[in-house]
Amino acid sequence: MKSHTVRRWSFVHTWSSLICTLFLLMLALTGLPLIFHHEIDHALGDTPAYRDMPAGTPHLNLQRLVEAAEAYRPGEVMQYFGWDEDEPDGVMAITAATAGTEPNLSHTFALDARTGEALPMPSANGGFMMVMLRLHVDLYAELPGKLLLAFMGLLFVVAIVSGTVLYAPFMRKLGFASVRVDKSPRTRWLDLHNLIGIVTLTWVLVVGITGVISACADLLISSWRNDALVSMIAPYRDAPPLTGRAPADELVTIAKAATPGMTPDFIAFPGTRFSSEHHYAVFMKGSTHLTSHLWTPVLIDARTLQITAVIARPWYMDALAMSQPLHFGDYGGLPMKILWAALDVLTIIVLGSGLYLWWVKRRARRASAQVTA
């Protein structure tokens, strides 16, 4: 590689890395506990404590559970209702002052599906894990924070690609995985920085790209609403406001009939950003480990319970649905989480060593300039 080309790539790598490194260090540090959020919640006693009851105790119907949720939070309305993957007798409810209240002002809790008893979920509404999540997702700045982190993620991808380009000629001079332990600390750290960087290359690319996609979630959901959803609810554009809705009892049965072989994941109630002012939206998912992250929304008229549409998933919503669990290593159970955590720690070392190398080089240049002067 020609020297001027190396200088260009080195410039790109240095400044793309420097601009995003502090943000990436924050994301790596906050992401570490988020990888184990289920395990941490359990250890802290923040998981719902379902009572022991005889096996096979029947569940209340859906409308009874909705009423129990709204009774637990007087003055609030249902936004979303979902099923707990880890507890067959548990369901999740999200309520807020209005159906359109933004997510950070909503309240999440569990319900015992057999009794309708409400069970608090402290970590879903505040505390250490919520602080980690908000810092990781939006820096407590909502959409501007998400877009800033998306931009930092793009810079991170540029830094990874430029670093790989620079490492190619470096490998021709030294054997792979060589660390020159007999050289100066800066040289040893440079070798370690390059080695760990190339070993974690695929993982950091995956996490970086999925992080950018996840950070753009609000924009993708808005695009979905303005594209697929708006066209489906066009006949309701001039309909009078919904003054009452049909009971939710049959929603799952109706949605299952429209999507054979799929199971319900969550229900968006009328007025939320995943539905319309006149519809329930039942989000169905596949039965395999992969397709369980892919949603097919079934729009059901909230007054008549007639199916309005089964909405085809646009590619960008599939990308969003699959990127979020992949970002945190939620596809492969505890072994994959441990692998993700180890790679996260190695990434922290790469980021920290990059800052160290830049600072040492900068200090050496200053010293050289002073001697010359």
Residue-wise pLDDT tens digits, 45-96: 788 888 889 988 999 999 999 999 999 999 999 999 999 887 889 999 999 9
Locate the DSSP E strands across the chain: 77-83, 90-96, 107-112, 118-120, 263-268, 279-285, 295-301, 307-310
Give this prediction's pTM.
Answer: 0.86
User: What single-letter DSSP state applies at residue 272?
Assistant: S
Residue-wise pLDDT tens digits, 96-112: 999 999 988 999 999 99
Instruction: Report the DSSP pairing between strands 279-285 and 77-83.
Output: unpaired
In this predicted structure, what is the pLDDT of residue 277? 94
Residue-wise pLDDT tens digits, 270-287: 999 999 999 999 999 988
The sheet with strand 307-310 has its strands ordered as 118-120, 107-112, 90-96, 77-83, 263-268, 279-285, 295-301, 307-310
Cβ count near 130 (within 10 Å): 14
Q: Which sequence spans correspond to the domains of the chain?
A: 3-38+139-198+333-372
Cβ count near 64 (within 10 Å): 17
Average pLDDT over residues 234-262: 92
Length of the chain: 373
Instruction: Report the DSSP pairing between strands 307-310 and 295-301.
Output: antiparallel
Decide if 347 contacts 21 (C-beta within 8 A): no
Q: Is 290 helix (H, G, I), strand (E, B) or coil?
A: coil
In this predicted structure, what is the pLDDT of residue 145? 95
- Using 50, 70 and 90 to split pLDDT, how confident is the model at 126? confident
